[in-house]
Amino acid sequence: MAIVTGRTNGDTGGGGGTTRAGRPDCDGDIPGQRRTEGGIPGRPGSPRRRARPLAEAGRVRQPVALIRLLTGLITTALTLLLADYARATTGGIAADVAEAAALVPRPLAGLAGGLTTAAVLLLPVGLAVRRLLGPDRRRALQQVSDGLLAAVIAYGATLALDLWADDLAPASLVTALTQRLPADALGHTEPVYGYLAPVLAFMTASGNRERRLPWAVLALSGLAGLAGGYATPTALLLGLLIGWTGAHGTLYAVGTPDPRPRPGEVLRALRDSGLRPVEALPAGPDRYRIRQADDRPELDVQLLDRQAVTAAAVQRAWRRLRLRTAPHPRALRSPRTGLEHEALVTYAALAAGVRTRRIAATAGLGHDTALIAYEHLAGRTLDRLDDTEITDELLTDAWRQLALLQRREIAHRALVPSSLLVDDTGAVHLVDFADGDIAASELVLRCDIAQLLTTLALRAGAARAVRTATTVLGRDALGAALPLLQPIALARSTRQSLKRWPSGKPVEAPAPEGAGGGRGAGSADAGPAPSEPGTEAATADGLLEEIRAEVSRGRPEVVGRPVRLERLRPRTLLAVVGGVVAGWLLIPQFFAAEENPIAAMSDADPWWLALAVVAAGLSHVAAAMGFVGFVPERLDFRNVVLAQVAGAFVKLVSPGGVGGIALNTRLLQRADIPTAQALSSVGVGQLIGLVLHLLQLGAFVYLVDAQPGGSELDALPAVVGGLAVAAVLLVVVWSVPSARRWLAARLRPLTAQVLPRLLDLLRNPARLAVGVSGQLLVSLCLITCLYCCALAIGREPSFAAVAVVFLVGNAAGNAAPTPGGAGAVDMALVVGLQQTASMEEGGALAAVALFRLLTLILPVLPGWAAMAWLQRRKAL
């Protein structure tokens, strides 16, 4: 059988399963991709949500258009930034191009410019006529209309950018984008070479298949513009980017004509492949059930298109960047390569003796669509079986199929319930090998065991899943897979089922099958079942812990320490990006300020600087007071102070105040305080701290407004207005039922744990007073530190103004995802000192730099030493 074309992992295959673009496997999923369950009878799988219908006119929104739109916008913004910041580089390139263009005779350059301009203007007309004379005139007319709309939008965008450059853009950016016209003309060139954008937008949005001639015309037009001195290289690049981005923005806004073939085309393609189809019955999005002549077996057909290639590329790139067990980078492979890969793994599984469905045919349908046909296999997926049908024999058979794969080093990567098809005789078939691998690594093979173990435990309970797995694989294999038993190593649908696990009521194994009193669970996709009285709600890891306990019961020597699968965590990536952006924004200000901040720091008054150091040090003692005051149990105050010092080290690897919260919680746990009470104590401290922070801000805002001359920002009305807006938003959110339930779920821990703990503290007023005093003193010490830093460099702002600036900046730092609030705190403090405290830019930068040096940088080494000391004493 010749494979004509195929699909990528972004497409949905005929073998059933789940969405290919957001394919779950043992290496986790990219954030935000949602899977759905369901499929046609006898064919497992959930249909890929390929596009959202716009109307009955046959238009769909392709996700790839949105991805390309965002890519174009980001690339355009980066081009403008680089043109402004890298002026020397862009200016040098433009000068070199102009020098080379000067060698071209002016008459020749003018003639080339005129001819290429005419060719560029006639190119859309020729492409439109060719499309309209084609076979599918209705679709061609829709695409030509889309191209004209995209051309108009792109031309409008170039005009808007030209107007912005003339009136609002920085002079340095205009200089980088333009150059003087040739000697026989006056003025400067346009910031965007406007001929290219609308033509490229038309070419892209109209679905033009001819590439060589149009791109050759565009390239010649660009070269003629450079040779004639009518464009700069950056202007040419911006023209192409605007045209490409405008085209994809138009395609996503209005949708594209539905490229899916009609049932007649599907039947014709199957006949050409040697089959004898007589009827195609729709069975869901992009799916058909095919009935054949002469009592031949039915077929399950899945339509595939090229649009999912880009979506799959983004998701695979993210997984490859984040996880060690991600598939090999096949992100940019063609549909043919994707189909060949799935067929290879499927045939390898068949050769290994695994029961799976067979590929009947593949066929191409035009440029962007193909189909894959599987022999129909009657049966139901694991998630559609009743509890009484989940027998030990069925579980054992599933493990036997996996064992066959493991012996040949074949990885499935997606052993979710929809990939386990049970036929009428109770035999298990493994389907959907789109993301499988041959010659898989040991880590990926163990990941398959962990995934199937969790999938079966969700239906039959941990005891039965482990017992049947031990019968087939042995305890050594289970013990080796135990470190992979962690949420990130599981499919997204499995992680969601784990969160719902307490709602499923375990059931006993069916008596006729001799299960021996094993346990089971309701379907992962079924509605919540009533829990037994007194059943304690478990966390998402509750079932995983139960599985670990079952495996360890047979082999106590198994440690099962989790293997680190993540190369890069999302919060780490966010922190790095935030730090880079903060440095990009702050460092140029040191050189752009009228007064050199570094020189101002070197001339700082040592006495005020010493007082600032003392205030920064006392803030740790005050923080310890504010912490112990909200813990009814007795703590070692020395350890608490050292924990607050250690928090300075933790800030460098955690965003906002997250690290300090985790550190304080761990300190209480090591002091033999139960986790629930430890969390509630920390929560009480955070709640009281928030209230005191708002009260301090209001008090200092009032003092600023009460000073002679008032404040330039009219801070009091601004704060009151902000509180009023927050109150209105809260009322609006509370009036929406779904939003109200979401907010209530987030506030439930507050009412269930924090408030009772606060009531206990009210019985000890002295300790509560220590906590409140400590919370107030922390802010006052840090305000004093910032105030002394300003005095040390010779500035004399008011204490109240500095307090308002610090309190606002500290709130911004707690909300920022960067370590220690880097970037957000610095920008807020610098801008605040300029606006509220009337300090010039150089002085504000110097004061903030000194303050951050004393409170963020210098405490790192003592913080590391404090953490090491506490860990040696088993206090952390």
Q: pLDDT by residue (tens digit) across 41-80?
A: 333 333 333 333 333 346 777 777 888 888 889 998 888 8
* 794 confidence band (pLDDT: 50, 70, 90): confident
* 449 confidence band (pLDDT: 50, 70, 90): very high
Structure-block tokens of residue 332: 């940019």
Average pLDDT of the chain is: 75
- Contact (Cβ atoms closer than 8 angstroms) between residue 670 and residue 642: no
- Contact (Cβ atoms closer than 8 angstroms) between residue 859 and residue 660: no
pLDDT at position 470: 92
Q: How far apart are CA 761 and CA 767, in angstroms?
A: 8
Classify residue 68 by burial, with Cβ atoms within 10 Å: 0-12, 13-18, 19+: buried
Q: How far apart are CA 121 and CA 104, in angstroms?
A: 24
Q: How far apart are CA 215 and CA 658, in angstroms?
A: 52
Q: pTM score, two decimals? A: 0.57
Q: How far apart are CA 449 and CA 478, in angstroms?
A: 7
Greater model confidence, 669 or 367:
669
Q: How far apart are CA 809 and CA 822, in angstroms?
A: 11
Q: How far apart are CA 844 and CA 835, in angstroms?
A: 10
Tell me the per-residue pLDDT of 721-754, one tens digit each, with 9 for 90 and over: 556 666 676 677 677 776 667 666 655 655 555 5
pLDDT at position 57: 45
The CA-atom distances, in angstroms, between 863 and each of 572, 663, 873 are 21, 12, 15
| Closest listed residue to residue 162, CA positions, set 201, 197, 186, 194 | 194
pLDDT at position 395: 94
Q: Quick one: residue 838, left, alpha or beta (phi over 0 = left, psi -120 to 50 = alpha)?
A: left
Element containing residue 802 per DSSP (H, E): helix 799-815
pLDDT at position 548: 84
pLDDT at position 541: 62
pLDDT at position 570: 61
- Contact (Cβ atoms closer than 8 angstroms) between residue 304 and residue 372: yes
Share of the chain above pLDDT 90, in %: 11
Q: Is the pLDDT of residue 120 over 90?
A: no
Tell me the per-residue pLDDT of 405-439, one tens digit each, with 9 for 90 and over: 999 999 998 899 989 999 989 899 998 887 788 88
pLDDT at position 213: 81
Tell me the per-residue pLDDT of 127-158, one tens digit each, with 9 for 90 and over: 888 878 876 677 778 888 888 999 899 989 88
| Closest listed residue to residue 431, CA positions, set 376, 468, 484, 387 | 376
- At residue 29, the 3 state secondary structure works out as coil
Structure-block tokens of residue 311: 């979506």
- Contact (Cβ atoms closer than 8 angstroms) between residue 160 and residue 236: no
Q: How far apart are CA 433 and CA 440, in angstroms?
A: 13
- Contact (Cβ atoms closer than 8 angstroms) between residue 6 and residue 339: yes
What is the number of other CB atoms lying within 10 angstroms of the CB of residue 705? 16
Q: Is the pLDDT of residue 513 over 60?
A: no
Q: Report which DSSP code applies to 594.
A: S
pLDDT at position 876: 75
pLDDT at position 585: 55
Tell me the per-residue pLDDT of 477-510, one tens digit each, with 9 for 90 and over: 888 888 888 887 788 888 888 877 764 444 444 4
Greater model confidence, 240 or 226:
240
Element containing residue 215 per DSSP (H, E): helix 212-227
Element containing residue 278 per DSSP (H, E): strand 277-282
Q: How far apart are CA 655 and CA 215, in angstroms?
A: 47
Greater model confidence, 521 or 111:
111
Tell me the per-residue pLDDT of 689-730, one tens digit each, with 9 for 90 and over: 888 888 888 888 878 766 665 444 444 555 555 566 666 766
Tokens 């999912």, located at residue: 308
The CA-atom distances, in angstroms, between 479 and each of 241, 408, 441, 443 are 54, 20, 17, 13
pLDDT at position 3: 36
Mean pLDDT score, 645-653: 78
Which amino acid type is present at position 84? D
Greater model confidence, 399 or 126:
399
Task: Kindly give the residue spans of alpha helices, DSSP state H, lying in 671-763.
Answer: 675-706, 715-735, 737-749, 755-761
107-116, 370-379, 571-580, range with the lowest pLDDT: 571-580
pLDDT at position 745: 65
Q: Is the pLDDT of residue 29 over 80?
A: no
- CB neighbours of 581 closer than 8 A, spacing ≥ 6? 823
Mean pLDDT score, 787-808: 88
Q: Is the pLDDT of residue 23 over 50?
A: no
Q: Is the pLDDT of residue 590 over 70?
A: no
Q: Report which DSSP code applies to 34.
A: -
* 522 confidence band (pLDDT: 50, 70, 90): very low
* Range of 295-309, 455-469, 644-658 with top mean pLDDT: 455-469
| Closest listed residue to residue 415, CA positions, set 382, 371, 372, 440 | 382
* 316 confidence band (pLDDT: 50, 70, 90): low
pLDDT at position 327: 53
- At residue 362, the 3 state secondary structure works out as strand
Share of the chain above pLDDT 70, in %: 69
- At residue 518, the 3 state secondary structure works out as coil
* 263 confidence band (pLDDT: 50, 70, 90): confident
Q: How far apart are CA 809 and CA 118, in angstroms?
A: 58
Greater model confidence, 763 or 616:
616
382-396, 621-635, 811-825, range with the lowest pLDDT: 811-825
Q: Report which DSSP code applies to 510.
A: P
* 326 confidence band (pLDDT: 50, 70, 90): low
Longest Cα–Cα distance of the chain, Å, equals 100
Please report, to the nearest 10 degrees, the dihedral formed by the alpha carbons of residues 72, 77, 81, 87 taken in order. Answer: 50
Q: Is the pLDDT of residue 450 over 50?
A: yes
Structure-block tokens of residue 816: 């920022």
First to last CA, the chain: 64
Greater model confidence, 28 or 184:
184
Tell me the per-residue pLDDT of 337-355, one tens digit each, with 9 for 90 and over: 667 777 889 889 999 999 9
Q: How far apart are CA 755 and CA 687, in angstroms?
A: 10
Q: How far apart are CA 120 and CA 214, in angstroms?
A: 8
Residues composing the chain: 876
Tell me the per-residue pLDDT of 201-236, one tens digit each, with 9 for 90 and over: 898 888 776 677 888 888 888 888 778 777 888 888
